[in-house]
Amino acid sequence: MMDKDTLWIVIFGLGIGSFLLRFAFLGFVGDRPLPAWLVRHLRYTAVAILPALVAPLVVYSGEGGTTDPTRLGAAVVTLGVGIWTRNVFAAIGAGAATLFLLVYILG
């Protein structure tokens, strides 16, 4: 269970921070172009942060830092279907189905 004070700090901190990111150029900067090196790095933020967040959750998903085969299986299927179909919801559906199936089979 998470702490409620922390939750509200995160909600408003994230709200203000996201607004500032969105307002940065529309509001403050005007139409000056961004340096190319900055744009180039910004392009890879989400594609770096999200895998970095999810990798330990998949690989250390079992008790005491081991790998839980049901969760690893579900992750592999989600990623595979996602890359194959480019469809977020096909990937979620396939991953969830795999997880339920493996939990049922392997206990």
Partner 1 sequence: MPFTTTKSAFWAGVRDGAPFIFVAGPFALLFGVIATEAGLSIFEVISFSVVVIAGAAQFTALQLMQDEAPTVIVLLSALAVNLRVAMYSAALTPYLGRAPLWQRAFAAYLLVDQSYALSHAKFEADASMSIPQRMAYYFGTCLLVLIVWFGCSYAGAAIGTALPVGLPIDFALPIAFLSMVAPMMRTLPHLIAAGVAVVVALLAVSIPYSLGLIVAGMAGMIAGAQAEVWLRADPMLPVDEDPQ
Q: Among residue numbers 36 through 55, which ones bind partner 1 (CB under 8 A)?
A: 36-37, 39-55
**How many amino acids of this chain bind partner 1 (CB under 8 A)?**
72
106 binds partner 1 (CB under 8 A): no
CA 79 to chain centre: 12
- From the CB of 74, what's the least distance to partner 1, in Å? 6
Query: Of 54, 56, 107, nearest to 78 (Cα)?
Result: 54
First to last CA, the chain: 26
Nearer to partner 1, 51 or 66 (CB): 51
CA atoms of 71 and 56, how far apart (whole Å): 12
Amino acid identity at 21: L
Nearer to partner 1, 19 or 66 (CB): 19
Binders in 1-20 for partner 1, by CB under 8 A: 1-2, 6-7, 9-15, 17-19
Six-digit token string for 10: 């995160």
Six-digit token string for 85: 């179909």
- From the CB of 21, what's the least distance to partner 1, in Å? 4
101 binds partner 1 (CB under 8 A): no
